[in-house]
């Protein structure tokens, strides 16, 4: 036990004849224990994140050390205050206070993190059962009690007693923070530089360069007359440049996304597989390495490949960089976070608080604006020389936060306004349309630059979206919580090389999983055998297109009545499967024969949409999906087609079939009915 001569304070449990440690020593012991406990917890969660993804940097280690350490010190300060609150005769020793601060913070933050991870990764946002939470809390409490008992012995009988002193804690924490800094600045294996491998161009002669533009959260009806097809004046154009682009492209009027949130939907766009087939459906899922991506197929055909993601859900860390020579992602998140730090539980809380209290917003704190994304793609294209290349670019506008243009520092974000009022619908839609106009302007500049550089005519250029956006059409907002058309009916514009088939409008139904197969078909690259999607330009395309026009009448023949067929009546229409496992919702739908059947496998009790467990709609008579069909002979047939369509092709699943998935529930003895 260390003692200062002259009768001054002691750092041991007792001094002399029953004298207690000073109030300052006890308070600091709580702060020191909490500081180290918080940093320990933050580092452990950071390591979990880094080992469960493919990170492009390791900042989460340092961020976890600092953020969790600060929170831990604050909690430990509370422990210290409680320690000095009693009479001097009943105060605990600094060693006990330090241990309570350390293990109290570890168990408290650990409970918060485990609850978050269990809800997200095991119970898939259905909510963690109370019994499980009590079990976790009890286990942490027992472990903490044992830790306090062992720690007290170590801090009173070994040189570790130095930790109860300011210099001892500062030395250990400083050393740990320094090590965390070195780890955080260490280079990661993911390619992020401008220099990319040279691809031998043998066999690529005559093949087009390819650009895939994905505009996030873009509803089909958000575009102008040349895309949507409504009479001018009924729907003022928000997209004059995409309208012009559409006049030289093929417009697919009934194009359906595979999901209504980004990760699952883009995974289908990249793999030609439905969501339950590629298995990348929930917030913790990573795109499997054993699926063949579009970029891998093109790289195998000697294309240079560059991708520019702009959403944290589709970064290389989640497996979306497979096949790309260059796939950088360098966000400027609030509070100095990077992609790896974004996954920390406490950062999620801090980010939401920041969104609520921060009155001035910068676009770059949420995503790279369209002009920055397209500038990156342009610079990469300029570096390819004569090589054939495939460029993918993700544009976040009009995804929330909705920024007013010209930018004035204001923004409306889902994180701060999860449930807007119905009265806000018109204003929010106006903000959203302003974001559409901004994206359209930047795409117009990009297309003009391609024309100036002589790259436009020969290229295959596709513009589409991953999902739409809801503005209270069914009682809710945003996306990812329904499979109504406002969330899954998206644009698809395909400009073929030399503007072949320019101005063609395809009225039959197509699917997002058909896009990658179409790209490979146009490029003359074999389509992987296990892809479920098919080319949008099959051999009988012209015959199918002819069915959408009146028959040619020879001179002298009678003019027979003719009605343009609906998409449901066209034999080329493909049944579209959409699936959702996000924010506590588990949904699947089939859109075929003019009907849509939605199965609500898991719907939260507080769902603002009040979605039934099963819903059938007639999309021809009721395209807004407001009138349930109570009984229809087609329902059972659609249900059978849906159940046999989910999962991977040929019944050989890459992942467990979606309707029976939910591994956490089965693992812990819970089933879908809650038993």
What pLDDT, on a 0 to 100 scale, did the predictor assign at position 254?
Answer: 96
What pLDDT, on a 0 to 100 scale, did the predictor assign at position 188?
Answer: 72
Averaged pLDDT, 632-660: 65
Of 37-46, 139-148, 644-653, minimum mean pLDDT range: 644-653
Task: Provide the pLDDT confidence category of residue 199 given band limits of 50, 70 and 90.
Answer: low
Task: Provide the pLDDT confidence category of residue 664 given band limits of 50, 70 and 90.
Answer: very low
Task: Provide the pLDDT confidence category of residue 598 given band limits of 50, 70 and 90.
Answer: very high
Q: Where are the domains of the chain?
A: 23-185, 210-509, 576-667
Averaged pLDDT, 503-532: 97
Domains 210-509 and 576-667 share a fold: no
Mean pLDDT of the chain: 87
Averaged pLDDT, 130-153: 93
Q: Please state, in angstroms and rounded to a whole number, the distance separating the CA atoms of residues 142 and 134.
A: 12
Choose between 87 and 305: higher pLDDT. Answer: 305
Of 346-355, 463-472, 506-515, 524-533, minimum mean pLDDT range: 346-355
Give the pTM: 0.84
What pLDDT, on a 0 to 100 scale, did the predictor assign at position 200?
Answer: 57
Averaged pLDDT, 122-145: 90
Averaged pLDDT, 608-615: 92
**Cβ pair 273, 513 in contact under 8 A:** yes
* pLDDT over 70 at 517, yes or no: yes
Q: Please state, in angstroms and rounded to a whole number, the distance separating the CA atoms of residues 477 and 337.
A: 27
**Cβ pair 213, 393 in contact under 8 A:** yes
Averaged pLDDT, 314-331: 92
Averaged pLDDT, 142-153: 93
Averaged pLDDT, 6-24: 50
Averaged pLDDT, 438-457: 97
What pLDDT, on a 0 to 100 scale, did the predictor assign at position 415?
Answer: 79
> DSSP character for 194?
S
Task: Provide the pLDDT confidence category of residue 634 given band limits of 50, 70 and 90.
Answer: confident
Q: Please state, in angstroms and rounded to a whole number, the distance separating the CA atoms of residues 304 and 300.
A: 10
In the chain, % of residues over pLDDT 90: 68
Summarised one tens digit per residue, pLDDT across range 19-69 is 457 888 899 999 999 999 999 999 999 999 898 887 778 999 999 999 999
Summarised one tens digit per residue, pLDDT across range 75-119 is 999 999 998 886 566 788 999 999 999 999 999 999 999 998 888
Task: Provide the pLDDT confidence category of residue 202 given band limits of 50, 70 and 90.
Answer: low
**Cβ pair 196, 325 in contact under 8 A:** yes
Task: Provide the pLDDT confidence category of residue 648 given band limits of 50, 70 and 90.
Answer: very low
**Cβ pair 102, 172 in contact under 8 A:** no
Q: Please state, in angstroms and rounded to a whole number, the distance separating the CA atoms of residues 408 and 594.
A: 44
* DSSP H helical ranges for 86-129: 94-117
What pLDDT, on a 0 to 100 scale, did the predictor assign at position 390?
Answer: 98
Task: Provide the pLDDT confidence category of residue 371 given band limits of 50, 70 and 90.
Answer: very high
Show Cβ contacts of residue 350 under 8 Å, excluding neighbours closer than 6 positions. 67, 335
Q: What topology is assigned to 210-509 in CATH?
A: Alkaline Phosphatase, subunit A (3.40.720)
What pLDDT, on a 0 to 100 scale, did the predictor assign at position 658?
Answer: 38
* pLDDT over 90 at 614, yes or no: yes
What pLDDT, on a 0 to 100 scale, did the predictor assign at position 665?
Answer: 29
> DSSP character for 209?
P
SS3 585: strand
Q: What topology is assigned to 576-667 in CATH?
A: Arylsulfatase, C-terminal domain (3.30.1120)
**Cβ pair 532, 274 in contact under 8 A:** yes
Compute the half-sphere exposure of residue 444: CA atoms within 13 Å on the CB side of its CA. Answer: 13
What pLDDT, on a 0 to 100 scale, did the predictor assign at position 675?
Answer: 30
Neighbour-count burial for 349-375, b at 16+ CB within 10 Å, e otherwise: ebbeebbeebeebebebbbbbbbbbbb
Choose between 126 and 533: higher pLDDT. Answer: 533
What pLDDT, on a 0 to 100 scale, did the predictor assign at position 343?
Answer: 86
Compute the half-sphere exposure of residue 671: CA atoms within 13 Å on the CB side of its CA. Answer: 2
What pLDDT, on a 0 to 100 scale, did the predictor assign at position 244?
Answer: 95
What pLDDT, on a 0 to 100 scale, did the predictor assign at position 36?
Answer: 96
Task: Provide the pLDDT confidence category of residue 237 given band limits of 50, 70 and 90.
Answer: low
């Amino acid at each position: 036990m260390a003692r200062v001569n002259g009768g001054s304070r002691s750092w041991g449990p007792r001094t002399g004849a029953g004298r207690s440690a000073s109030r300052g020593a006890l308070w600091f012991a709580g702060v020191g224990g909490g500081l180290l406990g918080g940093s320990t917890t933050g580092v452990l969660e950071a390591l979990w994140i880094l080992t469960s993804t493919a990170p492009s940097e390791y900042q989460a280690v340092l961020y976890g050390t600092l953020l969790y350490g600060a929170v831990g010190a604050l909690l430990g300060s509370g422990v210290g205050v409680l320690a000095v609150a009693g009479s001097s005769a009943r105060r605990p020793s600094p060693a006990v206070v330090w241990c309570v601060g350390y293990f109290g913070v570890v168990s408290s933050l650990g409970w918060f993190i485990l609850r978050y991870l269990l809800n997200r990764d095991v119970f898939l946002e259905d909510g963690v059962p109370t019994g499980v939470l009590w079990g976790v809390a009890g286990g942490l409490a027992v472990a903490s009690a044992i830790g306090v008992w062992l720690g007290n012995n170590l801090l009173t009988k070994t040189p570790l007693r130095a930790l109860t002193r300011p210099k001892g804690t500062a030395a250990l924490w400083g050393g740990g923070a320094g090590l965390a800094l070195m780890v955080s600045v260490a280079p990661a294996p993911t390619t992020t530089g401008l220099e990319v491998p040279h691809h031998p161009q043998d066999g690529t002669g005559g093949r087009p360069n390819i650009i895939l533009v994905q505009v996030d959260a873009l509803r089909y009806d958000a575009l102008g007359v040349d895309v949507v097809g409504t009479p001018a004046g009924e729907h003022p154009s928000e997209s004059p440049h995409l309208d012009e682009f559409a006049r030289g492209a093929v417009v697919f009027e009934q194009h359906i996304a595979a999901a209504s949130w980004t990760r699952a939907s883009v995974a289908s766009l990249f793999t030609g597989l439905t969501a339950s087939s590629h298995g990348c459906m929930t917030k913790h899922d990573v795109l499997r390495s054993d699926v063949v991506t579009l970029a891998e197929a093109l790289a195998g055909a000697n294309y240079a490949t560059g991708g520019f993601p702009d959403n944290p859900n589709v970064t290389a860390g989640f497996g979306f960089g497979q096949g790309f020579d260059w796939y950088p992602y360098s966000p400027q998140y609030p509070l100095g976070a990077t992609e790896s730090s974004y996954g920390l539980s406490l950062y999620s809380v801090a980010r939401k608080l920041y969104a609520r209290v921060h009155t001035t917003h910068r676009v770059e704190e949420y995503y790279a604006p369209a002009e920055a994304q397209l500038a990156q793609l342009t610079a990469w294209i300029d570096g390819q020389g004569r090589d054939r290349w495939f460029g993918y670019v993700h544009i976040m506008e009009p995804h929330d936060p909705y920024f007013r243009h010209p930018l004035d520092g204001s923004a409306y974000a889902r994180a701060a306004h999860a449930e807007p009022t119905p009265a806000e619908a018109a204003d929010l839609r106006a903000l959203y349309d302003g974001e559409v106009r901004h994206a359209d302007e930047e795409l117009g500049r990009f297309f003009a630059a391609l024309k100036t550089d002589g790259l436009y005519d020969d290229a295959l250029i596709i513009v589409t979206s991953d999902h739409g956006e809801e503005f209270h059409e069914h009682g809710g907002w945003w996306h990812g919580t329904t499979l109504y058309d406002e969330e899954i009916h998206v644009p698809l514009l395909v400009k073929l090389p030399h503007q072949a088939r320019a101005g063609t409008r395809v009225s039959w139904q197509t699917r997002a999983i058909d896009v990658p197969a179409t790209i490979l078909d146009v490029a003359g690259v074999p389509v992987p055998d296990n892809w479920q999607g098919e080319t949008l330009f099959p051999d009988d395309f012209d015959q199918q297109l002819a069915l959408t026009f009146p028959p040619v009448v020879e001179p002298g023949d009678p003019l027979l009545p003719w009605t343009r067929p609906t998409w449901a009546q066209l034999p080329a229409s493909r049944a579209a499967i959409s699936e959702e496992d996000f924010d506590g919702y588990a949904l699947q739908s089939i859109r075929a024969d003019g009907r849509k059947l939605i199965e609500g496998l898991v719907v939260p009790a507080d769902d603002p949409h009040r979605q039934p467990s099963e819903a059938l709609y007639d999309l021809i008579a009721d395209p807004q999906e407001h009138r349930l069909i109570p009984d229809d002979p087609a329902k059972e047939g659609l249900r059978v087609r849906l159940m046999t369509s989910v999962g991977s092709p040929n019944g050989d699943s890459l992942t467990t079939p979606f309707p029976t998935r939910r591994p956490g529930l089965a693992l812990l003895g819970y089933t879908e009915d809650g038993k």
